[in-house]
Chain A
Amino acid sequence: MQRLKLLNSIAFRNLIRQRRRNMLLGVAIAFGTMILIVANSFSRGITDTLLNKLVVQMTGHLELAVIERSRAQNLLMRDRTLYLDLLQKNLPDVREIAENVAVFSRAIGIGKGENVIVVPLELGEGKNIANSTDAEYLLSRVKDGKLEDFASPQYENPVAIFADKAKALNVKLYDTLKMRLKTVSGQEQSARFTVVMLLRSESLFESGAMFLPLKNLKDLRGFRPNETGSLQVTFKLFDSPRTVIRLADKIHALLKPGIAALHGELIAANKKTPVVLGGLIQDFEKSTVVQKFVRLSDGQFFKDKDTDRILLSAASAESLGVAPGDKVTLRFKSIHAAEPVEQGFIVDGIYENDPAIPGQISAFLPEAGFYRAYLGDLPDKRTLAAEGVTAEWKALLAPEYRVLPRTSTGDDLLKKNQDMRKTNFYGPAIDVRTMYESASQVLDLESALNKITVIAVLIMFFIILIGVVNTLRMTIRERTREIGTMRALGVHQADVRNIFLLETFQLAFFSAVTGLVAAFVVILLLSSFTIETQSILGLFLDKRRLYFLPFVSDIVRNIVMILIISTATAYFPSRRAAKLDAAEALRHYE
């Protein structure tokens, strides 16, 4: 230890002796360190802006979505309460579970039209209107208008819009604009809106949004009270992607679909009979189970795409006194209304009663017709008891939903959507996704930016290290007699080598620390300017300023890397110097 202290102090003294040369080299290393830290911080800042502000606002940390008929753009969750319950019971530290019913629209102001995205607002009730995350967001950006106006019956469809969008639409506070949008089923909808709040946007991404109370937006889009688009979860504490992915996997594992069934009654003329309807999946006729156990005594099988055809068991047909070609009405209780709903069908065929058919099923619908009835008015009682149902029958009967496999990247997500479209499944498919899949392109961008930064800085360091090596060689050459003197005085070879290494280490260390300080000064300076831009670069700004996010781990890693590279570069020249013969070194003259 004493020896190391001594070597250190010798190295430090040598460093001070060669001030000019070391200063130049030190400045180069400091400059390189500064660039590395600033670039890393900027890259982290972009990731934070894009991922944690942009993507989390769009998708939450975790999203539970239901896709019907492979329409990935049109998410529709028919039983919001069921899935909300699932999430609330199984996810810890949830800050918010938001209903995603946002929609792209065309807004027409006074003589001008603009594309916008209408985003739902969840505000508090009554006097507590400001008591919500969304209210806080609005209040943090309000330029003009009052939050209370959202609750006022005086204003038709009150909206908050950003000031630059208002300017583009040529509207002011309390002006009316009209919008066209699509309902959840794809129908054209239009409405008038009153601008009750003008906001100040802090990034290019924000200015395209328009905020409308959730209830208004759901009504316009045709969602029934129990329905929603998807559920987006934001957590209070967010430590790492792994935690979110683990929780998503947990929710995914909990989703276990049952066999779908419609429980109700069939009515024909004045007769009625209780019924349990099952759905036969596409290509059911190829199934050996159907060929063996669903034997028609009259009529024919329906087609996969039929939506108004039904197969009745012989018992049901007899109770109703119907034959193929006759009409029957299905009546059942839905979660959406107190009164039962009714749907009409035409009997296509009658099949013989067979004990192999899952005992409760007394009629079948084709997949298309089944899900049309099932999803159109989601039944109160909607599954079949699975006990005693064989695997072959389970594979043949329409499931409550399908669970899509978990994916980890955006490319996998795209492929999953493609595969889903190919199946043309008429029923609902549930997807549990995290922002990492939805935003994997953002992560790729961040990774690419990081790589570019590292490569650029390494190139620069390479250039600097050439300087280090050159300087060290010159130093050793000039100090050959000094080395000879040290060796003659009995200093070991290893110590001679270590003195040079320590000199380089200390130089690199002090330069790196100087570079770190300079980096923070540069960061402070660069982030003090406001940048007004409408280009895509605006996406990378936060509050219209460049945004840097230095991480201690990055800084420490960068400095350690500089120290290691500098010291490693100095090793071979130092070793060569240490191996010089003392007598020869003493005879050396420049």
Chain B
Amino acid sequence: MKKIILVTLAILPLSLHAMTVDRVLQEIDKRMSQVSDFSAKVALTQQKVGQGVKNFETLFFRRDEGDEFLMVTTAPQSEKGNGYLRTGNNFWMYRQNTRTFQHINRDESINGTDTKAGDFERKKTTELYKPLVDANGKEDIVEETLGNKKVWKFTVVAKVRDVTYPKQVYWVEKDTFLQLKVQSYSLSGTLMQTAYFLKYTQIEGKYILLKGMFIDEFEKGNKTVLDISGVSLKKLSPKIFTKAYLENLSK
């Protein structure tokens, strides 16, 4: 009996640390892929040193089938009516003042912000990143507490060259596998950005991010706050993801 207890106690710590980075990433990807069609109102408040605060509001629609999306800016006034549409391999930018569509590529900046068109592509984290391992092949993953939540903290490095941040450190909630905090590093290892995922909600059993904050660690004083509201997961008609619909919405 004693032997059984001892053996159980011996393997218990091992099983506690049986969690691997790949498994956590898979869970993160699973959470993201559960969200099918999606529509919401997205507000971005951007604060830059010497430039004050800028507020952007957009209507965002995403369709799971075909990974299509449509975005229309509703604020500020100078950008109102401008939009973006992706269907298949085509990515268009719509300019309300000229009523023209222009083909853009994934490097194009969205509304002059740091967000690029390529950021809207649905990519699995497991395809882009792999665990950082030490000289002994041991993954860098530990249990921690963030605020009052138990989290897995781990480090990943890019598998491919076309990701923005070659190295990231994640804090992921243990129970729900929700990302709570992500620190992103440049190629030279400098901390560039800290992202806080502050509030989630559950709709139809799926977790949806409602509020996030992105702090520029390189140029102190810059930050962006993301607010998502009016979320709906109802199936979206393919008619929404057309140029005609975007033009109509822009009026």
Contacts and interface: CB of A to CB of B under 8 A. Distances in A.
Interface string B163-191: 11110000000000000000010111010
B181 to A, nearest CB: 18
Contacts of B188: 189-191
A108 B218 contact: yes
B105 A71 contact: yes
A195 to B, nearest CB: 18
Interface residues of B, number: 27
Contacts of A418: 102-103
Interface of B is mostly: loop
B165 A113 contact: no
Interface string A79-119: 00000000000000000000000000010100001000000
B19 interface: no
Given A108-B218, A187-B165, A188-B165, A180 B89 contact: no
Interface in B57-99: 89-90
A180 B105 contact: no
Interface in B91-142: 102-107, 116, 118
Given A70-B105, A108-B219, A188-B165, A183 B187 contact: yes
A106 B161 CA distance: 21
Given A71-B107, A421-B104, A185 B161 contact: yes
A190 B192 contact: yes
B164 A188 contact: yes
A191 B218 CA distance: 11
Given A113-B50, A178-B218, A422-B90, A188 B103 contact: no
Nearest to A304: B89
Given A71-B107, A180-B218, A222-B187, A186 B164 contact: yes
Nearest to A182: B164
B103 A180 contact: no
A450 interface: no
A424 interface: yes
Contacts of A69: 105
Contacts of A72: 105
B162 A185 contact: yes
A383 interface: no
A113 B158 contact: no
B14 interface: no
B190 A190 contact: yes
Given A188-B166, A190-B187, 7 more contacts: A71-B105, A72-B105, A180-B186, A187-B187, A189-B188, A190-B192, A222-B161
12 contacts: A180-B219, A186-B118, A186-B163, A187-B161, A187-B162, A187-B165, A187-B187, A188-B165, A188-B186, A188-B187, A188-B192, A422-B90
Interface of A: 69-74, 106, 108, 113, 178, 180, 183, 185-191, 222, 376, 418, 421-422, 424
